[in-house]
Structure 1
Amino acid sequence: MRRMFTPVTAMCAGTADGGGAATSHNEVPLIERERLFGNPHRAQGRLSPDGRWLAWIAPLEGVLNLWVAPIDHPDQGRAMTAEQVRPIRSYFWSPDSQALLYVNDTGGDENFRLFGVNIDSGETRTLTPFKETRVQIIGISRLVRDRLLVGINNRDPRWHDVYSLDLASGELTLVLENEGYAGFIADEHLELRLAAQPREDGGETYFRITANGIEDEPFATIGFEDSANTGPIGFTRDGNTVYWIDSRERDTAALMAQDWHSGELRLIGHSPRADVTGILLDPVSDEVQAWAIDYLRTEWTALDDTIAADLAFLEGELKGDISVTSRTDDDRRWTVVNDPVTAPAETWLYDRDTRTLTSLYISRPELSGEQLAGMTPLEITARDGKTLVSYLTLPEGSDADGFRRPTSPLPMVLLVHGGPWARDSYGSNAYHQWLANRGYAVLSVNYRGSTGFGKRFTGAGDGEWAGAMHNDLLDAVAWAVEAGIADAERVAIMGGSYGGYAALVGLTFTPEQFACGVDIVGPSNLETLLSTIPPYWEAGKRQMYRRMADPETEEGAAWLKERSPLTHAGQISQPLLIGQGANDPRVKQAESDQIVDAMKANGIPVTYVLFPDEGHGFARPVNNIAFNAVTEAFLAETLGGRFEPIGEALKTSSIQVPHGVEYTPGLDEALNG
């Protein structure tokens, strides 16, 4: 069957040299893993609400911590935290600009606690000091500056009770005891306004919250078919309007405004191609100023003339995709990230009064001047006619000009996203750059079940694990082979979480299609996966059952067994590498243990890498680098690409190899040398 391909040339990022004659990829310098996967120089630069400070994440003695500097002197940064093991990966400003707030867990267990560090004193406090508890941020307001609303599940691990957190004293005051609600929406006065209750059919019902409690009559009902991409996202400052991302009565989700009193819904923005996924709000009124969709790339539609002019100026001045990452309360200054893909991302200070841009930092300056590869957005047609938005990266110098097909088919890595209810998008991707630099074509596919492309596309994945979802991946590989991009005999399948499951499916259900597989924290047994989900996933359990299968029914249990790679482990005939975090609360270590044990019993080679201080993925750069060192040696052995020797990459990591050290070249020497 012929697969159709549509290159979106107007949106393609070129190569670093802008095209022209092809050069041998072997002449392109090898980019060291450390420069791609080590700590960034700086990341997540954000202005304080009052505009006085700039904060960011950067390493302190090798571990990512929070830093701050006066905005007028960004070179005078000082570290505000002193984490020594677990990196800080996200944070936010307190509304009063007095503190930085962040969440962190222990060893990847996802029992997140909330911490705060005072800008003036440097004192760090644990604001939710509870064991085996996962904090949620429920409400942050620019209007109410002295407190937040947080959810804490220390009473019942399934449900988060709502507390008001006084930022000055750290005192927690119970606002609402949760008896079965999935979540809550608060207004700008930090008053709870809506409660979401999960339904048996996998949907949700929303109820108003008043001074008298949660009302009995539903305010809105979301059926299962709309559950993946419909929900309220907040209120205007006056509390009279609630905004929705809403796919009811349409396929792709629109941005809607609903009058709180009359219930009348008003359309603000909609595209038939993709869901609305981003909005810009006025910092004072919380009225919508612009909205965005992400189809092949992010596209903004401005509703406010001034914002339209700002966005036009930024797009004209900066080469590459832009995103506004913070805005001061007076809205005079923004931080803007520019991502050209063929160069490292750069963060800028934008002064709206003077229409000037000042560079604050480059995230990875060590990559400046490197021959980074571009990324091409694609539309690939599946066998049943569905359009699969995909992203292709080719090795620098492997092809000619325009959308440059390689001069001969390349080994390829099919890189599958997790979720599966998530998506791949255009932009800088360290894995694409790394693998392309090693000589591989890299293809990421938004298979059915992915989100962002309408409810029909997401719903088309229901019940299709190891079915039509996998066929989409096979169709994309077939397109790459037919287009002369991929060598059919040298295709690897690799991914994390659901992507790891897809890698296992590839080697069990269709072992003839792939030369090897890399599974990172992927489930091998869907029965045990669903029986061990964290208790705080209770609210979404029925929706998962609808999208997979109900383990409480005979038919559902049979489906889960049949679609589990473990059931078909005897079919594996190609090399497999598995990476797992011992503390993973989502995909337990037993998921990897089971498939490894089955392969050992069947005499099938497998290399099993375990990190005792990681969870669902590898947060510590030393561990991520260690696993990737093993991965590129493993891939080079099977696919024939270039590789940086493992060398000393494992020494500072916590890596353990319970089985199969002999199946990956150089691994035994690196561990024991």
Structure 2
Amino acid sequence: MTTQHPPAVIPDRLFADPEAEARWRARFHAPRVSVPDWALDAPDANIYVSNASGVWEVYAWNRATGEHRQVTNRPNGTLSATTSPDGESIWWFDDTDGDEFGSWVREPFAGGPAERALPDVHDGYPAGLEIGHRLIAVGVSTDDGSELFVHVDGKTERFYASKDDAGIAALSRDERLLAISHSEHGDSRHPAVRVYATDGLTTVAEKWDGEGKGLTPLEFSPVSGDARLLVLHERRGREELLIWDVAADTEEELSLDLPGEVSATWYPAADALLVVHFHQGRSSLYRYDLGTAELTSLDTPKGRIGGASVRPDGTVEYSWSNAAHPPVIRARAEDGTDTVLLAPPGEPAPPSAPVVDAFVEGPGGRVHALVARPVNAPEGPLPTVFTLHGGPHSADEDRFSAYRAVWLDAGFAVVEVNYRGSTGYGSAWRDAIEGRPGLTELEDVAAVHDWAVDSGLADPAKCVVSGGSWGGYLTLLAIGTQPERWAAGVAAVPVADYVAAYEDEMEQLRSFDRALFGGSPETVPDVYRECSPLTYVEAVRAPVLVLAGDNDPRCPIRQIENYLDRLAELQRPYEFYRYDAGHGSLVTAETVKQTATEVYFALRALEK
């Protein structure tokens, strides 16, 4: 008989003050848009995603006429979309209720019936898509591994299959070269690059930097006949740029005098790169002239760049926000004029409090954290929530977050920890969790927790640990391995039973886990057992809220139920919020409901 888990309490409101209640909800409901993407040869044909309808969906924007049109309208939203290079069609990925398993659909840019774009390609998890005028390349991942296809002249051909993770990466402007990313060497976290000639689909070039050093193909030059491929490498212990001329088989490493890590995209004439620089939780933009090697700052404000691209006329369009100010889509002309490009309808989100940096010595080196205090907070120690980001290969940033803001409104200090495993701090920091994931990150969280208590920021009796996805996994692991530190735990879409999670998750993640853990649960069972929250469930004392989606392919529901069943057997205090979607929700009302449930749970836990 299935265990009946105690349901989470969903409050009607969080705050007695009507203005405070309206303010936190307004931050989530405020319409937002992404940086627009345009058709390669029809720059007036643009698409973007927005939550203006209350659900994140795809929109078309005809710049010539000024018309905006909602393209998709699905119960659980749509994020993945692109255009054909001629601007005639929009492609979007059609899955089932957020499970990420499905196929690409195509419809006219101006509107009309949608149809399955490539009927001869079976359903699966997306593994890259490149659309040319005469050739289409698409990747699909299933439990059997990765398959890559090309579609030319009405015929579809599978040209690659592997049990290891692989994906379509880049198509040259003249459509003669196709780059893929693969992990045939057994490590999907540090991929290699292969380039095919599309005429005959024969391999023309290979590049792999060896064990522990990934190569990520970004994009070919936008100039027809130019065989240069922009690639991220990590030969000197951090992600940097190189340009690989595939035809000449030569490469140039770009040494930029910038701390931290970078990514980039081409300027339209392929004479320069738009560089996105990330350092200590903040990003900025630069123009790098390939002829003179001159690096010029575009002087964006301190904060986060959420996306950036260069228009045919050289205008840079980008998304910017920081912790205090909501995101805005801006356009910076070549003369330096910077204006708002795209503003969604309705009122913008109310502002919030800024974040400050904390640098704490941890067992593996200096840990960077972002710290926010409620406005007009008392000087004494505060209830504090430690929000742990997902990934694990991601990072918390000085960006606007309605989620962070509501915790501040509720009187909590917020601490965001960029633990080992986070990106932006070098390859050694990112890869330090190999062989002992979860437990390694929590050593850094413990060091920051000690600092927060010793500095007088955090009340040691009122510390909450919270996170989603990998952050949810760390949350459950934390309340089991560090029970004395936490008064409550809030774990959204977590890994809870790692062996069962491995059995049920999408193959791309199984490949990732094998690289991270050093093998599968069959080959290294002790590592999975040591690093699984289920192993430590008997030590859990703090009340815990778990949120999970029925259709989640990343952190599947069965392994979460296994963990909850053990909590029930042990009679530990917990609540469960279950919803009909995948790895999180794209529906604003659902996100608001879950957020209210999380904060209300923590407030009640601290009252006990």
Q: Deviations over 1:497-543 (max 9, x none)?
A: 11111111111111110000011111122222223332345654541
Following TM superposition, by how much is the alpha carbon of 1:172 offset from its aligned partner in structure 2, in angstroms?
5.5
Q: Distance in 1 between matches of 2:213 and 2:564?
A: 38
Going from structure 1 to structure 2, the CA distance change for 1:264 and 1:307 (only over 3 Å counts) comes to closer
Q: Which amino acid aligns with 2:146?
A: W
Partner of residue 9, structure 2: none
Cα contact 2:193–2:217 (8 A) shared by 1: no
Partner of residue 471, structure 1: 443
Q: Distance in 1 between matches of 2:341 and 2:272?
A: 29
Counterpart of 2:282 (choices 279, 287, 297) is 297
Partner of residue 442, structure 1: 414
Q: Distance in 2 between matches of 1:354 and 1:289?
A: 15
Partner of residue 602, structure 2: 635
Partner of residue 552, structure 1: 522
The two structures have a TM-score, normalised by structure 1, of 0.78
Going from structure 1 to structure 2, the CA distance change for 1:347 and 1:287 (only over 3 Å counts) comes to closer
Which deviates further from its counterpart, 614-623 or 42-51? 42-51
Partner of residue 256, structure 1: 242
Asked if 1:344 is matched to 2:344, the reply is: no
Counterpart of 1:152 (choices 137, 140, 145) is 140
- Structure 1 residues 153-192: aligned runs within 5 Å: 153=141, 157-164=144-151, 171=154, 173-174=156-157, 176-180=159-163, 182-185=166-169, 186-192=171-177
Which deviates further from its counterpart, 349-358 or 252-261? 349-358
Counterpart of 1:410 (choices 377, 382, 387) is 382
Asked if 1:528 is matched to 2:500, the reply is: yes
Q: Distance in 2 between matches of 1:314 and 1:152?
A: 40
- Structure 1 residues 391-430: aligned runs within 5 Å: 391-398=370-377, 407-430=379-402
Q: Distance in 1 between matches of 2:283 and 2:407?
A: 24
Counterpart of 2:107 (choices 104, 109, 117) is 117
Q: Distance in 2 between matches of 1:338 and 1:506?
A: 33
**3-state secondary structure, aligned to 1:591:** helix
**3-state secondary structure, aligned to 2:125:** coil
Structure 1 segments unaligned to the other structure (5+ residues):
1-24, 399-405, 641-662, 664-673
Following TM superposition, by how much is the alpha carbon of 1:88 offset from its aligned partner in structure 2, in angstroms?
2.0
Cα contact 1:414–1:442 (8 A) shared by 2: yes
Q: Distance in 2 between matches of 1:338 and 1:213?
A: 41
Counterpart of 2:428 (choices 448, 453, 456) is 456
Q: Distance in 2 between matches of 1:261 and 1:500?
A: 46
Q: Distance in 2 between matches of 1:446 and 1:47?
A: 34
Asked if 1:506 is matched to 2:478, the reply is: yes
- Structure 1 residues 200-349: aligned runs within 5 Å: 200=186, 204-210=191-197, 211=199, 213-215=201-203, 219-227=206-214, 230-236=215-221, 237=223, 238-248=225-235, 250-260=236-246, 263-270=249-256, 273-276=259-262, 278-285=263-270, 287-304=272-289, 315=300, 321-322=304-305, 325-328=308-311, 330-349=312-331
Cα contact 2:321–2:399 (8 A) shared by 1: yes
Cα RMSD of the aligned pairs, angstroms, is 3.5
Following TM superposition, by how much is the alpha carbon of 1:205 offset from its aligned partner in structure 2, in angstroms?
4.8
Q: Distance in 2 between matches of 1:79 and 1:98?
A: 16
Going from structure 1 to structure 2, the CA distance change for 1:254 and 1:599 (only over 3 Å counts) comes to same
Q: Deviations over 1:148-198 (max 9, x none)?
A: 3212358x84212222378xxxx5522624245623443223334445342
- Structure 1 residues 24-103: aligned runs within 5 Å: 29-38=20-29, 40-47=31-38, 49=40, 50-58=42-50, 62-71=54-63, 74=66, 76-81=67-72, 83-103=73-93
Going from structure 1 to structure 2, the CA distance change for 1:272 and 1:302 (only over 3 Å counts) comes to closer
**3-state secondary structure, aligned to 2:161:** coil
Going from structure 1 to structure 2, the CA distance change for 1:275 and 1:320 (only over 3 Å counts) comes to closer
Following TM superposition, by how much is the alpha carbon of 1:305 offset from its aligned partner in structure 2, in angstroms?
10
Cα contact 2:147–2:158 (8 A) shared by 1: no
Q: Distance in 1 between matches of 2:258 and 2:316?
A: 31
Q: Distance in 2 between matches of 1:479 and 1:453?
A: 20
Cα contact 1:206–1:220 (8 A) shared by 2: yes
Q: Which amino acid aligns with 1:294?
A: H
Partner of residue 357, structure 1: 339
Q: Distance in 1 between matches of 2:339 and 2:123?
A: 45
Following TM superposition, by how much is the alpha carbon of 1:113 offset from its aligned partner in structure 2, in angstroms?
2.4
Cα contact 1:198–1:540 (8 A) shared by 2: no
Determine what percentage of the aligned residue pairs are the same residue.
21
Asked if 1:620 is matched to 2:587, the reply is: yes
**3-state secondary structure, aligned to 1:609:** strand
Cα contact 1:584–1:614 (8 A) shared by 2: yes
**3-state secondary structure, aligned to 2:383:** strand
Cα contact 1:336–1:349 (8 A) shared by 2: yes
Q: Which amino acid aligns with 1:341?
A: A
Going from structure 1 to structure 2, the CA distance change for 1:172 and 1:66 (only over 3 Å counts) comes to farther
Going from structure 1 to structure 2, the CA distance change for 1:485 and 1:364 (only over 3 Å counts) comes to farther
Q: Deviations over 1:57-83 (max 9, x none)?
A: 345764443334443664x533334x1
Following TM superposition, by how much is the alpha carbon of 1:351 offset from its aligned partner in structure 2, in angstroms?
4.7
Going from structure 1 to structure 2, the CA distance change for 1:147 and 1:375 (only over 3 Å counts) comes to farther
Q: Distance in 2 between matches of 1:627 and 1:287?
A: 44
Going from structure 1 to structure 2, the CA distance change for 1:222 and 1:494 (only over 3 Å counts) comes to same
Following TM superposition, by how much is the alpha carbon of 1:91 offset from its aligned partner in structure 2, in angstroms?
2.7
Q: Which amino acid aligns with 1:126?
A: R
Q: Distance in 2 between matches of 1:148 and 1:288?
A: 26
Q: Distance in 2 between matches of 1:208 and 1:64?
A: 35
Partner of residue 19, structure 1: none
Cα contact 1:164–1:172 (8 A) shared by 2: yes
Cα contact 2:286–2:297 (8 A) shared by 1: no
Going from structure 1 to structure 2, the CA distance change for 1:390 and 1:524 (only over 3 Å counts) comes to same
Q: Distance in 1 between matches of 2:53 and 2:440?
A: 47
Going from structure 1 to structure 2, the CA distance change for 1:31 and 1:473 (only over 3 Å counts) comes to farther
May I ask how many residue pairs the two structures share in their alignment?
584
Which deviates further from its counterpart, 466-475 or 49-58? 49-58
Q: Distance in 1 between matches of 2:81 and 2:432?
A: 36
Cα contact 1:344–1:365 (8 A) shared by 2: no
Cα contact 1:346–1:363 (8 A) shared by 2: no
